[in-house]
Structure 1
C-alpha cells in the first residue's frame, strides 16, 4: 500500500509539518508586547503577584493588543485549514494515470546480406518461403555456367542455416514420362517435410527427402488454356489454395483438387489468408489486375461457396499483392501502398515505385518490396525505406517475413538476386 494512504503515517507527517511551520514563522505579537503580557518568571518556583496579573490582563484587553489577537487567531485558522487539506490530499489522492498507450514497435535495424547464384542468361528468383531460420526455400530459374561454358539450369536454392545450395526440382512434361528443369513460380511450406511448389501447371511436393509430382492440374480438368498457378496460400495441407493467370483459382482439400470459378479472366497475382483458430473461420483475399495493362482491378474474397468483390476497391490503381493479420487492417500493394481503415482506403506514402509484394509477421513488422530494389519496413509506428538496397535496374518479386528475418528475391540486370535481412 502507498505510504501516503496510511493514516498513521499521515498523522505523524502532519505533526512534523506543524512543528516546522511554527518554528519557521515569528509570533504576530511584537517583542515589546510579548514582554508586557508574558514576562518571564524568575527562579524555579517563580509566581506572578496578583497586581502584576491584573496589570497584564488590562494590557491584553487594550485596543492595541486586540488587533494582534485578531491577527493571531486568523493566522492559526488558516494554518489549521492548510494542514487539514494537506493531510486529506496526501491520504486520498489516487496515483497518477498511466501514460497514454503507444504503438507496439519493433526495430528498423537489420543487417543485410545479398546473394546471386546464376551466371546470367535471364536468371530470376520468383518466390521464397521461410520455414525457420535454418530452413528456407527460394524458387525460380537459375542458369549456371559449367566447365564447358554451357548453361546448367537449376530452379531452386535451399538455406540450411549455414549456406545456400542450388537445387534441381524435376517437372514432368504433360502426357509423357519425361522431366525437365523448368521455371518454378511459387513455393509454400507448412513444415520442413511439407513443402509445395509449381511451375504453373504441375504441383510438386517435398516430403523432407525428395520432390515428387503431386498433381498435374490441367490433366483431368481438361483445360490447358485457362492459365497456371502463380501463388499458393493455405492454412494446412488439407486446405491449400492456388491462384494464377487468367482468373485461375484451385483448391485442394487433402484428397481432391477442384477449380473454383472466379468470375474473371484477369490475372490473379496474389492470395493471402488468415485462420482464426478460436472460431475456425478463414478469411482469404486475392488480388486481381494485370501488372502491365490497364484493365480490371478487384480484391476478391474467396470461399468454397463463392467468390465476392470486397472492400470496395474503386480506385483506378493496379493491385499486385495483399497481406493482413487476424488483428490488423488489410494492406494492398501495387501502384502504391494502401491500407483499409474505417471503411475507406488510405494511401501510405512510400517511394513511387511499383510494389510487387507486401508481407508481415505482425502489425509491427511489415515489409513492402518492389521495382528497382524497393524495400520498406513498418515497425508499428513508422515506415522506413532502405536506400542501400535500391538498384538501377531489376526488381524484387518474392518476399517472406518472420519475426526476426526477412528474405526477398528477384532479379537485377539478367541475374537472380536474393537479399536476407536479419534483425539486430
Structure 2
C-alpha cells in the first residue's frame, strides 16, 4: 500500500546526505511495515556474502551432496528439480539457452560450457575474467559480460573479446535485438550497443548495478545497491526512489505493466503499471535472480538452494534438494527451466 502523505526524500550514501539530484527522479513510498533501513554490506557482485543460517523450502530433508565440483546445473521438468550436471570444478554464475540442444553456462576463469543435447562441452574464450551474465539472440549471436571490462561475443564458431577502454566490472547483460543491447555494472556504469559500437550512457548514479532487463528498447530497468532502481525510456535514465536501501539484485519485465525486482533478505517488489508494492516471498534468504516465462510463470532463486515460483497470484516454495547458492536461471517453457549454482562458503 502506498503512502499518500508527502515527505522529503533524501539519499544516504555512506554517511553523506544528498538533498539535490542531478537527474530526474520519481518518488515511490511504501508502507512502514517494510521500511528497512539497515544498510546491506557491499561485496563483489553480491555473490560472496555469507549465506543465511536458516534452511527453508523443504530442505529439512537430506540434501544432495555434489562431490564432483563446486558448481551444479539443475533442471525443472514442471514437477520437480533434479541435478543434471555437476562435473565441472569452476563456479558457474549464469546460464542462457535457446532450445534443448543449445544451452550455455559461464562462470569463473573465463569458462563457457555449451550443452548440445547430449553433453556439456567447454568452449575456448581466451579470457580469464569471471563471466557474470549471458544474453543472446540466437546460438550464433551471444553476448557475455564479466569482470575487468570483459565483453565477449559468440558468432556460432568462436568467442571474441571486445577491446574496451574500461576495466569496469560488468554484472548484467540484456538486449531486445542485435541493435539494442545493454550492459550494467560497477559504479553505475551502463553501456549500450547500437549494432556498431558500445556507448556509455549517463545513469545518474554511482551505486553498483547488478541487474538490467526490459521488454522493449524504451522500457528498460536497472537495479543495484542501496535500493537503486533506474528506468530507461529510450532517451534517458531516471531514478525511481523506493523506500528501502536494500540491495536489489535482479529485475525482469514480463510486459510494460508488470515489473518484478528481487534482492536482499527475500525482498520481492512488483510494479503493476501504476504502483509499486512488496510481495510476500516467505523467505529471508537472499534472492539472486528472477526469470519470467510469462506474467503468470515466474521463478526466483537464491541462497541456500532457494527456489520460488509465482503463478500470477502468489509465491510458493519449491524443493530444490540442494543448499547451493543459486545464481543463474533460464527457461523457455514452464516445464523446462535450468538453474546454475555454486557451493556455499563454509
* TM, length-normalised to structure 2: 0.71
Q: Residue in 1 aligned with 2:130?
A: 183
Gap runs ≥5 in structure 1: 1-106, 142-152, 172-180, 276-280, 290-295, 416-424
Q: Deviations over 1:359-409 (max 9, x none)?
A: 111012100000111111123344321234341xx4111111211321111
Secondary structure at the counterpart of residue 217 of structure 1: coil
Secondary structure at the counterpart of residue 218 of structure 2: strand
Pair member with larger Rg: 1
Contact 1:337 1:350 in 2 (8 A): no
Name the CA distance, whole Å, in 2 between partners of 1:297 and 1:158.
35
Name the CA distance, whole Å, in 1 between partners of 2:110 and 2:87.
10
More strand by share: 2
Contact 1:357 1:397 in 2 (8 A): yes
Matched, 1:117 2:87: yes
The 1:263–1:256 alpha-carbon spacing in structure 2 relative to 1, beyond 3 Å, is same
Note the aligned Cα RMSD (angstroms). 2.3
Q: Residue in 1 aligned with 2:219?
A: 283
Q: Deviations over 1:248-281 (max 9, x none)?
A: 1001101121111112111100000102xxxxx6
Q: Residue in 2 aligned with 1:325?
A: 254
Alpha-carbon shift at residue 303 of structure 1 (Å)? 4.4
The 1:111–1:398 alpha-carbon spacing in structure 2 relative to 1, beyond 3 Å, is closer
- What pairs up with 1:134-213 in 2 under 5 angstroms? 134-141=101-108, 155-171=111-127, 181-200=128-147, 201-213=149-161
Gap runs ≥5 in structure 2: 1-76
Secondary structure at the counterpart of residue 88 of structure 2: coil
Q: Deviations over 1:93-134 (max 9, x none)?
A: xxxxxxxxxxxxxx9523523422334xxx311111111121
Name the CA distance, whole Å, in 2 between partners of 1:314 and 1:414.
31
* TM, length-normalised to structure 1: 0.58
Higher relative contact order (CA 8 A, sep 6+): 2
Name the CA distance, whole Å, in 1 between partners of 2:293 and 2:192.
24
Secondary structure at the counterpart of residue 372 of structure 1: helix
Secondary structure at the counterpart of residue 197 of structure 1: strand
Contact 2:218 2:234 in 1 (8 A): no
Contact 1:333 1:355 in 2 (8 A): yes
More helix by share: 1
Matched, 1:412 2:328: no
Alpha-carbon shift at residue 315 of structure 1 (Å)? 2.1
Any runs of at least 4 consecutive aligned residues in structure 1 with deviations exceeding 4 A, and if so which?
Answer: none
Matched, 1:397 2:344: no
